[in-house]
Amino acid sequence: MDGGNGIVRVAQGGVLRLGFDRPARKNAMTGAMYAALAEALVDADRDEAVRAVILHGSEDAFCAGNDIGDFASNAPDQGERPSARFMKALLRLRKPVVAAVNGPAVGIGATMLLHCDLVYAGTGAKLVFPFARLGLCPEFASTLLLPAKLGHQRAAELLMLGDPCSAQEAHTLGLVNAVMPPADVLPHASDVAARLAAMSVASLHAAKSLMRGDELDRYEERMEKENAQFSRLLVSPEAKSAFAAFQQRGKS
């Protein structure tokens, strides 16, 4: 277990639980958190003792997206952003991933759910894709996955308008498997992960691989295109203004 970098890592009974642990910032992600998550997922893929993974926050917040202060002050001049390694590790993970979502899942907090195999949400959960409102573009192959799943118009509502999507709306759209009281979400996800951990590893690997088909390279290619646009937009006046306004609200 290690919460010093904002990630709590607990392995038990074939299940690896990765918890986001920055409650004061609603589990907003830092570069250190992305690095810890990427390392944990790469290790989990190699470790035969790990048979399923759970991603979770607290009963108050799943993940509020990037920590804007950390993100703005540590944006690389070139090369991969810290989140990219995490994205690729989750994308390529062969083992089943279960998400337990309460409260806000914003930005990366929402897009990572598109790459989880099973998603359970509390009644107060909400998914938000705020990229356009921040002067940025969507990420993590969401511009490919959401239109394919929802159709162009519904995906445009989420990715272009950035309006919050409630847990019940997300369930209706097929973005989450079930909605339940907040206190039940992590225990339910843990029960599901335990069921998966008791099953044939080879069968689950085959099922996940076949469901995704030959799309992994296509997802990664789309991620590269999104990241290139994201990096270009990150230095735009609109993004700088949006970040400055966000940070100012945080101080008031």
For residue 177, what are the domain limits?
7-181+198-251
Q: Does some domain include residue 186?
A: no
Residue 216's pLDDT is what? 92
Confidence category of residue 241, pLDDT binned at 50, 70, 90: confident
CATH number at residue 228: 3.90.226.10
Q: Does some domain include residue 2?
A: no
pLDDT tens by residue, 221-230: 999 999 999 9
Q: Does some domain include residue 19?
A: yes
The encoded tokens of residue 173 equal: 């759209």
Whether this model's pTM surpasses 0.85: yes
Residue 219's pLDDT is what? 95
Residue 11's pLDDT is what? 97
Q: Does some domain include residue 187?
A: no
Q: Does some domain include residue 193?
A: no
Q: Does some domain include residue 191?
A: no
| Residue with more model confidence, 107 or 231 | 107
pLDDT tens by residue, 3-24: 679 999 999 999 999 999 999 9
Torsion sign across C-alpha atoms 64, 66, 67, 72: negative
Q: Please count the structural domains in the chain.
A: 1
Q: Does some domain include residue 138?
A: yes
Task: Give yes or no for residue 250 having a pLDDT over 60.
Answer: no
Q: Does some domain include residue 17?
A: yes
The C-alpha atoms of residue 96 and residue 50 are separated, in whole angstroms, by 10
Confidence category of residue 51, pLDDT binned at 50, 70, 90: very high
Contact assessment for residue 131 and residue 107, using Cβ atoms and an 8 Å cutoff: yes
pLDDT tens by residue, 104-127: 999 999 999 999 999 999 999 999
The C-alpha atoms of residue 223 and residue 140 are separated, in whole angstroms, by 5
Residue 74's pLDDT is what? 61
pLDDT tens by residue, 161-213: 999 999 999 999 999 999 999 999 999 999 999 999 999 999 999 999 999 98
The C-alpha atoms of residue 175 and residue 114 are separated, in whole angstroms, by 7
